[in-house]
Amino acid sequence: MQMPVTIRPAVDGPDDSYGLPTRAFTDPVFVSGYVEYVSSDEVMLDRVTVRTHWRAFLPAGTAVTVRDRIEWGGHTFTLDGLPHEVVNPLVGNTVSHVECALVETTAAT
């Protein structure tokens, strides 16, 4: 099943008050992929926070980095670790797709 997935590539934005670059996002890149729910948990920091874990399956050769954001179905995700290419040994060790672990963090209501 293919769904529209938006990748928001990250770039260094203007420096903050400490002289460090902020993160900004360039024009979106649209691809067809698949996003599925994995799990969720609650974390108590200064308030109850819900982290929902998802996984994205993107076409082989899709350019995505750990700093990018992914948008799908009204959700905005950050990557949880490095994206990786998945090789299918049954079809000549070619890359079949790119997988990304995603996380969405929201305050519990």
pLDDT per position as a tens digit, 34-67: 999 999 888 776 777 888 999 999 999 999 999 9
Q: Coil, helix or strand for 61? A: coil
What confidence score (pLDDT) does residue 73 get?
93
Distance from C-alpha of 9 to C-alpha of 80, rounded to nearest angstrom: 15
Distance from C-alpha of 26 to C-alpha of 12, rounded to nearest angstrom: 10
Domains of the chain: 3-107 (2.40.10.370)
What confidence score (pLDDT) does residue 47 get?
72
- What is the pTM assigned to this prediction? 0.85
